[in-house]
Structure 1
Amino acid sequence: MEPRNKTDVSEFFLLGLTNNSEQQSLLFCLFLSIYFVTIFGNLLIILAVISDSHLHMPMYFFLSNLSFTDIFLSTTTIPKMLVNIQAQNQRISYIGCLTQICFVLVFVGLENFLLAAMAYDRYVAICHPLRYTVIMNPRLCGLLIGVSLFTSIGNALLHSLMVFRLSLCKDVKIPNFFCEFSQVIKLACSDTLINNILAYFTASLFAGIPLSGIIFSYTQIVSSVLRMSSAGGKYKAFSTCGSHLSVVFLFYGTAIGVYISSEVTDSSRLTSVASLMYTVIPQMINPFIYSLRNKDMKGALRNLIGRIPPFL
């Protein structure tokens, strides 16, 4: 790629979703509400799991870690957007942008691995119920979380360092409300072939393997459930997977939507909305999915809320 206005970049401009001042005020209220709902809902899930001994199981251990991940992912993107709207300042520093890229990649990757770990947990619970406590022991659960976190951090640091080596141009406007990896790559004046190859390779590896694990787990679950003679047993088995499947479809569906929209359209508005759908919306909806579709979680939340003293 030929250099165009190559310079040392000190900051980027986040164009956000709209330039209309009235719409920005509406977006500020909307995203502030989304952020509070996300934080409050996921904190309730975490506190319910911690406070209720009946939920001290691998399934809910992974769920509480998923809630932590959702909180941090939302905190990586939304507060900066709110500050920019309030201050009417679209700037973000170069270091701040790379830091945001790194943290978004860490928590998106971690959520990806956690969903795979939760699918494996359901596979063991339904297909090998007598060996469940032996297989899903605390050591394995801790190992799965540790490997997932280590892999996500390594992948994020690798991509962030590869962005750091690029020569960027004067036109450093990002058509999004946060520093998205693919959008920053497009601003480079230098050759991005290595970055693109690395991005496709790691996406295929670190997204493909967990997704394949999820598909394999549910293939085995469906096969095992269909062999059950009791209709009640079939319903109970499928009901324990309903919440997780809903979250899986929401997460991967929105992520695939972002990829497709970035490939088939040059519309910055559509790209921003698609990015919003996988970095903000699933994190807000996940607590509702698990609390409304899970009887044990609903009971734990009722007990937790019942212990909260009323305001005077």
Structure 2
Amino acid sequence: MKTHANRILAGLLATALPSVALAQDTATQAEPAGATTLGSFEGVADTVDSENLRLHTVQRKSVSDGGKHEVVLYPAIAQLNSKFTSHLGAGAQYLYHLHENFALQAQGMYFYVSEQTAFTEELINTGRQAPQAATALTLLWAATGGFEVTPIYGKFAFYEGSLASFGLVLSAGAGVGGTQIQLQGASGDNGATFGDTGMKFVGQVGAGFRVRLNENFLVRLEVKDLVYTAKVDAINGCNLEDLTALHGGKSAVNASCADADFQQSGDVNLAKRLIEEPSSDVLNNVGVYGGVSYTF
């Protein structure tokens, strides 16, 4: 019985094998000319007949950042939350990439426009209302040091199939900044005047994108928040006692009072009014930073 069964199985195999070989032959002949082979898995080839299909596989970054220096120029820094104050400036940043995704950074910025907004002036001129001195404090310059991390990076296609790599960057740091307060508005007879309110502690946090165009050049678009403490108890180094004396035609009490820095005759009286009621605040200067950088 077993011998008979074996003979039947052998006959079936002999009949089936030529059919399998013929089917494989037919499939090979039917493969279209010019088909693009994408790859193989266990000897089975996958083919497509479209020239437009391209598969970009996940791979390592073409240029490594680890151990490199990076110099960034920010020709345009614009404040986004301009309610009482308005800032427009430029800056620079230096980074040393300790590892692929971690860098130490130092940056500086200067605001060539640092003044009260038209809204603030309108409040003063029409409603005889003004924000507290600390709330209207403006930032003239800032210098911070900290770190930058790149938790996510990838690539995208642009301009006829070219590839560019990008990274999401997060930064944080701390430092100091120079502050000033506007005494008279730009609509005054002699234009805007300002008083120095000294250096303040500045913290910085930010996030944005860093796009590599080639081995050395990159572009950056970031949003950064400069957080600085604001307490106004002296203007141009003159406290309330000094300003009271100056307003009465006497000499300043403290040697640190730079009374010559008051630009117009009414500035002393305006400064005295601002600090008669002490004020303090924590201000956020949220700005968009557009820049270019070079790595080496």
Q: TM-score range by the shorter chain?
A: under 0.3
Higher helix share goes to which structure? 1
Higher strand share goes to which structure? 2
Higher relative contact order (CA 8 A, sep 6+): 1
Structure of higher CA gyration radius = 2
